[in-house]
Structure 1
């Protein structure tokens, strides 16, 4: 895994990701403090609305943004998105009204909805070997988990010397650093593809995604992971401070246990996936998450048990979600990968758009155990749906027929309308065969 850090292209892209994530982590802390300055005790409501705007931008705008930049060179797209994000962060210290926070978050997250899928779809072209790509996914997962651990600590250290407005400067430096690293990297060109009208570019990723059984299964498993993850992210502070009487430091420690479990999954997955494949590993992670939520609906954990349960939840969460890039890579031609990654970006965040408010509102109305029971049922729906939608074995070579193509079509071999090959939804394959 670690040898990829010296890869001439991936190494710089990974460094850009780490730098940008660090800036984003500082932004999260500073934004909370800014909201408290402007809204006082209503800061939670302000942040909740801001994060809802973030999810709406991700779900509603990422397909549109992806279609608009689909034929543009990758490097200018990535650099431009970083510069927009840096410009928004630069404006945040000058905000004086709550509506300005909402507008800034909308613009920033729209730029992120362009940057993230484009960045993710570039990595498979940089690392065509599947084992290298799997290791890259694990490194990316580690980067996200380390950001969750390190950025709050770094913010706390910086706040000893500067006001929270200075943290926005760190965010600006993170995005500019990311843009500079990408600018200094030679990226593979977008693979040649058919010129398509805007409407086709807008819907192509969703069409490919929803027509591919393994990706429909991935969406169902994402729902399970979002159910468990939403409870941890939204309600850890309530569980630790109110139910267990813990301190603010204990809240951070519980979240760190969740992050540690996810990191352990990332470290173990490359070898595990090589031995067993994606479906058993991801289904196992989702079953673990559902079982943990269901068990906690009947058991009230003490402090040490909570840390253990949060670490196991992080393990199941990382096991379920980290391999998703492998499925997306396998399910689209190079020219269509940005559209498919964008579809995953939008659809996965639609799951979070459901589970975030569900976890928060149910906790307020019914308490922790009832909330975990509700989320366990939702997670179970995801597991059952994935089991039915994602075929056991998930064969790469799929027999199928082309009754609609003439015998002299270039796709047909020796004029045979029935053949078998690695199947991907594209212009010659509009549907997944169900009967060979």
Structure 2
């Protein structure tokens, strides 16, 4: 992995990701404390609604942004989104009403709905080697875990000398530095693609995604991950403060335990994925999440056990989601990758759109045990759906027949209507064959 950090382009993109996510991690801690100040014990409801608004922006706007900017310069799109996020974050310290939280979060995440899928779809073009890309995914997972490990620890130190309102300044700095690092990198140009109508560009990624069995399985497992992470992100502050009578620094410690577990899994995954399939690793991670939520729903663990559960939850979460980029890369041509990454971004956040408000509302109304029980059931449904729609073995090379193409079609030349090759949903392959 260290070798990748010396890559002239990926190294700068990874550094940009780190500083932006560190700022976002400070935002997460500060937003939780702000919600507690504004709503007290009902902070879970406020945060659940805020994160639901975030998901609405992601689900509704990311496909539109991808279609609008399909041929735009990726560097300009990424820098523009970063600077817009920095400008919006400047207003966060001045929030004094709950409705202002909701409005600002929507505006901020509208820019993120443009930035994140574009960033994710750029990495496979920067690192075309499969092993390098697998390691890059683990590094990216580690970067995301800064929100739950280094950022809370940094926030805890800063809270010793400043109020949490000043933490929002770290968010602004992170986005600005990210924009500068991206500006200094030479990004690969977009792969040429056919000129398509706006409606086709808007729906193409979704059509490819839903027609591919492994991606339908990925979506089901994302539901499991969303159920667990929603409880962690929405209710950790309430659980620590109300059940364990903890401090702001204890909230950071709990989030750090979750992030630490996720980082441990990310570090182990490149070697693990050389021996095991993506499917088995991801389903095992989702099963672990389901078990942990179900067990905690019927137990009253002490503080050390609670931290251990959060650590294991981080491990299961990372094992479930980190390999997703490999599946997306394998399932689309390079020209279609931005659309497919955007489809995953929108559909996966649709899962969080369900679980975030559910976690917040149930916690406020019924407490931690009942909330975890419901989320464990939801996670189990995700695992069952993945086992059903994602066949074991998941072959890349698939025998299939083309009765929908004329004999003179270029795709059939030298092959005939019945042939075998690495199958990807595209203009010649509209459906996944269920039979050879």
Please report the TM-score for the alignment, with normalisation by the length of structure 1.
0.93
Q: How does 1:83-162 map to 2 (within 5 A)?
A: 83-93=83-93, 99-160=99-160
CA, structure 1 residues 97+360, in 2 after alignment: closer, same or farther (shift >3 Å)? closer
Q: Which runs of 5+ in 2 are unaligned?
A: none
Which residue matches 2:259? 259
Matched, 1:298 2:298: yes
Task: Indicate conservation of the 8 Å contact 2:45/2:360, yes or no.
Answer: no
Deviation at 1:35, TM superposition (A): 5.7
Q: Which moved more, 1:46-55 or 1:393-402?
A: 46-55
Structure 1: distance between partners of 2:153 and 2:370: 33
- Tell me how far apart the structure 1 counterparts of residues 167 and 304 of structure 2 sit (CA, whole Å): 33
Quote the offset at 1:247 in angstroms.
4.2
Matches within 5 A, 1:36-75: 46-75=46-75
- SS in structure 1 opposite 2:66? helix
Structure 1, 315-324 or 403-412: larger mean CA deviation: 403-412
Alignment of 1:3-402 (within 5 A): 3-32=3-32, 46-93=46-93, 99-160=99-160, 164-402=164-402
Contact 2:149–2:259 (Cα < 8 Å) also in 1 = yes
Check 1:44–1:235 CA distance in 2 against 1; reply closer, same or farther (3 A cut). closer
Between the aligned partners of 2:160 and 2:369, the Cα distance in structure 1 is 38
Post-superposition CA distance 1:297-319 (Å, at most 9, x none): 33332223222222111111110
SS at match of 1:276: coil
Moved more, 2-11 or 358-367: 358-367
Shift of 1:108: 1.4
Structure 1 distance, partners of 2:368, 2:417, is 57
Q: How far did residue 48 of structure 1 move?
A: 4.0
- Does the Cα contact within 8 Å between 2:138 and 2:322 map onto a contact in 1? yes
| Structure 2 CA distance for partners of 1:319 and 1:245, relative to 1, 3 Å | same
What CA deviation, in whole Å up to 9, does each residue of 1:124-175 have, x standing for no partner?
A: 0111111111111111111121232222333344455555554333322211
More off after superposition, 252-261 vs 338-347: 252-261
Q: What is the number of equivalent residue pairs in this alignment? A: 436
CA distance in 2, matches of 1:80, 1:245: 43
The question of whether the paired residues in 2 share the 8 Å contact of 1:263 and 1:315 is answered with yes
Q: Which runs of 5+ in 1 are unaligned?
A: none
CA–CA distance in 1 between the matches of 2:136 and 2:272?
15
Q: Are residues 275 and 228 of structure 1, via their aligned partners in 2, closer, same or farther at CA, if it must alter by over 3 Å?
A: same
Deviations 1:253-297 (A, max 9, x none): 222222111111001000000111201111111111112222233
Matched residue SS, 1:411? helix
Q: What secondary structure, in the 3-state scheme, does the structure 1 residue paired with 2:205 have?
A: helix
Structure with the larger RCO, 1 or 2 (CA within 8 Å, 6+ apart): 2
Change (3 A) 1:223 1:272: same
User: What TM-score results when the alignment is normalised by the length of structure 2?
Assistant: 0.93
Q: Is the 8 A contact 1:408 1:415 kept in 2?
A: no
What CA deviation, in whole Å up to 9, does each residue of 1:40-84 have, x standing for no partner? Answer: 887665544332221110111111111111111111111111111
1:407/1:415 contact within 8 Å kept:
no
Give the Cα separation in 2 of the matches to 1:176 and 1:157: 22
RMSD: 2.2
